[in-house]
Amino acid sequence: MKLPVIKHLTNFIEKNDEDYLIETIETLEDLTEVSSLKDEELDVIGELISNMYGALEVNKAIKEGVPKKEALNSFMSRVMGSIDS
């Protein structure tokens, strides 16, 4: 997951609507069923999906009243903590 990408997607949600991301995630998840995709392509799709889910989590925290910067940092801290474990 990349913080700049999650931040950009969070801004997109603020300007538009989270439904766009949800529908995009559903489309990308369906696309992973294509048998001719290479591992590298699946990795890229997986990274995009992960970043979108991350942005949705950050957006949820913002809706609950957490300042955007704090929501982003908290989310990335949780991600990094789970990787280190």
Query: pLDDT tens for residues 37-71?
Result: 999 999 999 999 999 999 999 999 999 999 999 99
Contact, 49 vs 8, CB < 8 A? no
* Mean of pLDDT values over 31-42: 96
Q: Flag whether pLDDT at 82 surpasses 70.
A: no
Cα(38)–Cα(20) distance, integer angstroms? 26
Percent share of the chain, pLDDT over 90: 85
Cα(11)–Cα(61) distance, integer angstroms? 14
Amino acid at position 68, single letter: K
**Which pLDDT score is estimated for 31?**
97
The residue written with tokens 């369906």 in the block is 30
Q: Flag whether pLDDT at 23 surpasses 60.
A: yes
**Which pLDDT score is estimated for 79?**
79
The pTM of this model reads: 0.89
Task: Give 15's contacts (C-beta < 8 A, 6+ positions apart).
Answer: none
